[in-house]
Amino acid sequence: MSGPKSIIRHETWTIQPDREPDAKPVTHQMKCDVCGDQSGEDGSWEPPQTWVLNHSGQNPSHHSYTEVISRPWRTFMHT
C-alpha cells in the first residue's frame, strides 16, 4: 500500500473586480450606526442616500451611518 502523495506547485494569482457580463451587480446600502436599521441594497447610490436623509429626519439623533458596498471580484492564474 502506498502512502499519500503531495504535489506542491507555486502559482501566481491575481484578483480584480468582476466586470464580466454575468457578474453580480455592484450594490450600495446604508446602515444606521445608532440603531442598526438599514436601507435596501440598490445598484444606484440615490435610493440608499435618500433612505439616510429620511431616516435622519425621522430620528434626529441618528447622525452616523456606514456605507456597505457589495462589489463582485474574480481571481485568475497568471500563465
All three cell numbers of 14, joined, read: 491575481
Strand pairing report for 13-17 and 73-77: antiparallel
Pull the grid cell for residue 37: 436599521
3-state helix, strand, coil in the chain (%, to 5): 15, 30, 55
Per-residue pLDDT at 1: 61
pLDDT in tens, the chain (79 residues): 677 777 777 789 999 999 999 999 999 999 999 999 999 999 999 999 999 999 999 999 999 999 999 999 999 997 6
The C-alpha atoms of residue 32 and residue 14 are separated, in whole angstroms, by 34
Provide CB contacts within 8 A for 27, sequence distance 6+: 41, 42, 43, 69, 70
